[in-house]
Amino acid sequence: MRIIEAKNYDDMSKKAAEIIAAEVTLNPTCTLGLATGSTPVGTYQNLIKKYENGDLDFSQVHSVNLDEYKGLSGEHDQSYRYFMNTNFFNHVNIDKANTSVPNGLSEDAKEECAAYQALLERIGGADLQLLGIGGNGHIGFNEPSNEFKKGVHCVQLAESTIKANARFFETEEDVPKYAYTMGIGNIMNAKMILLLASGESKAQAVCDSFFGSITPQVQASILQLHPNVIVIADSDALSIAKEKGVF
Ligand code: F6R
């Protein structure tokens, strides 16, 4: 695992975009595993700039997203499909037919999980999986638990996650209580993982995940076992690891 310190959010976003751009340049038909949330927004903006400058071509790129809220349609402005369209896909030349996000409106949760799992198995793992991290160490919506779930599953969101995501909804009650997510096995299948973390609210999770023991109570800690992980964390996100003298 390589841990790169960025000065701040902007610096983290630039560095992350450089790594994704290198992947797309070297492997124009790559599959990118993508994330939503506040963390990757700046990275997507930098990738859009590179595309507008004529430096990147997404025409043959495929993508698979980590997760989606159960119960939200792709048109709902808080759905992750809508997020991806508005923050990234609408601004580059990726073919939307080649982009996949779980279907939040599936009638049958089991069937949706099986269908997304089958899709991921067909792909055989993303070439590069982009990740953010929750304040409790979650990746995708794999919340602290007694186990690492392998495949795609429907998960009840932790109270802390609902609270953290309430900022995007009118009221906390509006935040969906369930989501579809790739499992830890799906994430670990990626050839390369790029995890981003910015801000003091992530400092404990960064310290526990990458400098502590591997435990399902801190789901991101499993990444210590992956052979090709790059973490780009800004100084605030590394502050606790630094205070403890482990970074
Ligand atoms: C998003 C996702 C989540 C977020 C995490 C951090 O697709 O899977 O694990 O990466 O909740 O969210 P932000 O970036 O909003 O702090």
The pLDDT tens digits of the residues spanning 102-129 come to 999 998 999 999 999 999 999 999 999 9
The answer to whether the CB of 148 falls within 8 A of the CB of 133 is: no
Give the pLDDT of residue 23. Answer: 98
Residue nearest to atom 2 of ligand 1 (CA): 140
Residue nearest to atom 12 of ligand 1 (CA): 37
Give the pLDDT of residue 164. Answer: 87
Q: Is residue 135 predicted with pLDDT exceeding 90?
A: yes
The per-residue pLDDT for range 51-80, each reduced to its tens digit, is 999 999 999 999 999 999 999 999 999 999
Any ligand 1 atom below 6 A from CB of 183 = no
The answer to whether the CB of 8 falls within 8 A of the CB of 229 is: no
Separation of 43 CA from ligand 1 center, angstroms? 14
Dihedral, CA of residue 169, residue 172, residue 178 and residue 183, to nearest 10? 70
Separation of 197 CA from ligand 1 center, angstroms? 10
Q: Is residue 6 predicted with pLDDT exceeding 90?
A: yes
Q: Is residue 158 predicted with pLDDT exceeding 90?
A: no
Average pLDDT over residues 84-103: 98
- Give the pTM: 0.97
pLDDT tier at 161, thresholds 50, 70, 90: confident
Separation of 39 CA from ligand 1 center, angstroms? 7
Average pLDDT over residues 174-189: 97
Shortest CA distance to 17 belongs to which of 58, 59, 74, 78?
A: 58
Any ligand 1 atom below 6 A from CB of 137 = no
pLDDT tier at 20, thresholds 50, 70, 90: very high
Amino acid at 231: V
Q: Locate tokens 């790129």: which residue?
A: 61
Average model confidence (pLDDT) across the chain: 97
d(CA 112, CA 59): 27
Among 34, 141, 209, 236, name the best residue to mutate to test ligand 1's pocket (greatest count of ligand atoms within 8 A of Cβ).
141
Give the pLDDT of residue 88. Answer: 98
Cite the active site residues.
Answer: 67, 136, 138, 143
pLDDT tier at 84, thresholds 50, 70, 90: very high
Any ligand 1 atom below 6 A from CB of 102 = no
Any ligand 1 atom below 6 A from CB of 176 = no
d(CA 147, CA 181): 15
Of 51-60, 160-169, 179-188, which gets the smallest average pLDDT? 160-169
Any ligand 1 atom below 6 A from CB of 134 = yes
Separation of 133 CA from ligand 1 center, angstroms? 6
Q: Is residue 165 predicted with pLDDT exceeding 90?
A: no
